[in-house]
């Protein structure tokens, strides 16, 4: 028995519904803006001093996380719920960073910033793994996730420095946003200059976890994306 005329055979994609190889794949989201935002944030904190930088970072981190959530393929209600929690908690953290109503307020704000960035990393990696076609936007997303990981651990180091009550680095070396980010990214990339070293066992354990995570991330996800990337064929 033959199929009725005009109806495609089961499992056959109609020609007009097939993807156009000459059309760029936009299903992987738009992550160029996110990457630019993260680079600008890092440069701002690297060349700026003062407590106001913590507040600026919280705002930027929230924006980065909301961009990641918007591009992630999660139910709309879940994205809205997570976004509302992040915005509400970040508003409270912003108030703590500016007003400092108690001694450990800045540490709590930095801890929250790290958790917000963790949510951004999860959303980015989930989106990358759910994408079947590797595009330039997929690589942007992976690089953005890598930068966010470094910023996330820097926030955790800052929180540990404040909440533990003892200096994070050996020999009483002072820690601020610039030094924590410098230590975080040299650890993430396993450069290991040695000019800054975690003093406590907890700090060393977290640093080792960051180094391992950075190598696994580069050797698996980023390398896989780069090797599978194929530029779009020019349209005729």
The per-residue pLDDT string of the chain (236 residues; one tens digit each, 9 = 90 and over) reads 455 555 444 444 444 434 444 434 444 457 888 888 888 888 888 887 666 777 788 888 898 888 888 877 778 888 889 999 999 999 998 888 888 888 888 899 999 999 999 999 998 888 888 877 888 888 888 899 999 999 999 999 999 999 988 889 998 788 888 899 999 999 999 887 888 999 999 999 999 999 999 888 888 887 778 777 766 655 55
Q: Say which residue the tokens 């500016």 belong to.
A: 98
Query: Using CA atoms, how far apart are residues 196 and 170, in angstroms rounded to an integer?
Result: 7
Sign (positive/negative) of CA torsion 222, 225, 226, 232?
Answer: negative
Q: Say which residue the tokens 């980015």 belong to.
A: 124
**Which has the closest alpha carbon to 28: 124, 149, 145, 143?**
124
Q: What pLDDT does residue 27 have?
A: 44
Contact 173, 157 (CB under 8 A): no
Q: What pLDDT does residue 16 have?
A: 40
Q: Can you name the residues that pair with 191 across neighbouring β-strands?
A: none
Q: What pLDDT does residue 174 have?
A: 82
Tell me the C-alpha to C-alpha distance, in Å, between residue 148 and each of 86, 122, 129, 152: 16, 10, 17, 6
Continuous H helices in the chain: 32-47, 52-71, 76-99, 105-130, 136-163, 177-188, 201-216, 223-228
Residue 135 gets the label, from left (phi > 0), alpha (psi -120 to 50) or beta, of beta
Contact 176, 106 (CB under 8 A): no
Return the half-sphere exposure (C-beta side, CA atoms, 13 A cut-off) of residue 217: 25
Q: What pLDDT does residue 112 have?
A: 93
Contact 53, 177 (CB under 8 A): yes
Nearest 10 degrees: Cα torsion 92, 97, 99, 100: 110
Q: What pLDDT does residue 106 have?
A: 86
């Amino acid at each position: 028995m033959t199929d009725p005329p005009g109806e495609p055979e089961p499992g056959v994609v109609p020609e007009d519904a097939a993807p156009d190889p000459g059309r760029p794949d936009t299903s992987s989201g738009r992550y160029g803006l996110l990457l630019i935002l993260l680079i600008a944030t890092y440069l701002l904190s690297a060349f700026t001093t003062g407590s106001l930088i913590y507040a600026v970072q919280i705002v930027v981190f929230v924006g980065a996380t909301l961009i990641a959530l918007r591009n992630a393929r999660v139910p709309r209600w879940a994205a809205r719920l997570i976004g509302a929690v992040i915005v509400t908690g970040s508003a409270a953290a912003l108030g703590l960073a500016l007003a400092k109503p108690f001694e450990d307020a800045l540490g709590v704000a930095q801890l929250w910033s790290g958790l917000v960035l963790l949510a951004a990393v999860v959303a980015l990696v989930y989106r990358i793994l759910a994408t079947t076609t590797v595009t330039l936007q997929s690589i942007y997303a992976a690089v953005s996730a890598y930068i966010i990981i470094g910023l996330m651990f820097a926030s955790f180091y800052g929180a540990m420095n404040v909440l533990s009550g003892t200096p994070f680095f050996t020999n009483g070396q002072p820690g601020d946003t610039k030094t924590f980010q410098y230590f975080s990214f040299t650890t993430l990339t396993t450069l290991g200059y040695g000019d800054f070293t975690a003093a406590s066992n907890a700090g060393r354990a977290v640093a080792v976890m960051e180094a391992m995570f950075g190598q696994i991330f580069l050797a698996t996800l980023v390398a896989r994306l780069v090797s599978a990337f194929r530029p779009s064929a020019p349209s005729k």
